[in-house]
C-alpha cells in the first residue's frame, strides 16, 4: 500500500495528525472566550507581548486574539485540504496535494516564528520551546517538500503506453539553435 507514497506525503500526514487537533482546540478556545483563550499556555506569549509591549486596549486584544485564531484555523483548513487531496491516488502520485501543504507550512511557520519571537521578548521560556519546536517541525517538512519531487514515468514506459494506445511515435526534428533561419545553402 505504501509503495506509491512519497516521504513528503507521509511527513505531511504526520504533521496534520498533530496540527489539526492541537491548533483547532487552541483556535476554538480563543473563539469562545478570546481573552481567556489567549492567556492559556499555547498563546500566553502572544498575549503578554500584546498587553505589555504593544499596550493594546481590551477590544484590540480581542481582535488580535481572533486574528490569531483565524490564522490557526487557516492552517488547519489547508492541512485538511491536503489530506483530502492525498486520498486520491492519481493526485498523490503526481504531487497535486503539495500546494495545499506548502500554503499550510508557510502560514504555520509565520505564526510559529512570530509567536517564538514574542515569547523571547517577554521571557516566557516554556512558550519559546513550544513555538520553536513547532517551527522546526514545519520548516523540516518544508525542506522535504522542496527537495523531493513527484516521481516521473520513465521514457520507455511512455513509449510503450503510446504504442499500446495506437499512437504513432515520430522522430521529432531537432529545433534549430537560437532560432537560426534555415537558408538554402545551410541545408
Q: For residue 96, what pLDDT is reported?
A: 85
Q: For residue 90, what pLDDT is reported?
A: 84
Q: For residue 114, what pLDDT is reported?
A: 96
Residues contacting residue 131 through CB under 8 Å, at least 6 positions apart: 45, 112, 113, 115, 116, 119
Average pLDDT of adjacent 10-residue blocks, the chain of 187 residues: 78 96 96 92 91 88 94 97 92 86 96 96 94 96 87 59 57 55 57
List phi, psi (to 5°) of 167: -80, 145
* pTM for this prediction: 0.78
Q: For residue 180, what pLDDT is reported?
A: 59
Q: For residue 161, what pLDDT is reported?
A: 65
Amino acid at each position: 500500500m505504501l509503495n506509491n507514497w512519497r516521504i513528503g506525503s507521509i511527513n505531511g500526514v504526520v504533521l496534520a495528525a498533530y496540527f489539526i487537533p492541537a491548533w483547532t482546540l487552541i483556535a476554538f478556545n480563543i473563539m469562545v472566550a478570546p481573552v481567556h483563550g489567549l492567556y492559556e499556555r499555547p498563546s500566553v506569549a502572544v498575549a503578554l507581548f500584546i498587553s505589555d509591549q504593544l499596550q493594546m486596549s481590551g477590544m484590540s486584544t480581542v481582535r488580535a486574539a481572533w486574528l490569531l485564531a483565524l490564522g490557526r484555523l487557516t492552517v488547519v483548513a489547508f492541512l485538511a485540504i491536503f489530506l483530502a487531496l492525498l486520498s486520491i491516488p492519481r493526485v498523490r502520485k503526481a504531487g497535486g496535494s503539495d500546494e495545499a501543504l506548502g500554503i499550510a507550512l508557510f502560514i504555520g511557520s509565520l505564526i510559529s516564528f512570530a509567536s517564538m519571537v514574542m515569547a523571547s521578548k517577554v521571557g516566557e521560556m516554556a512558550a519559546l520551546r513550544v513555538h520553536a519546536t513547532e517551527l522546526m517541525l514545519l520548516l523540516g517538512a518544508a525542506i522535504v517538500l522542496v527537495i523531493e519531487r513527484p516521481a516521473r514515468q520513465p521514457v520507455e514506459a511512455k513509449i510503450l503506453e503510446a504504442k499500446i494506445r495506437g499512437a504513432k511515435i515520430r522522430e521529432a526534428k531537432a529545433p534549430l539553435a537560437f532560432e537560426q533561419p534555415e537558408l538554402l545553402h545551410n541545408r
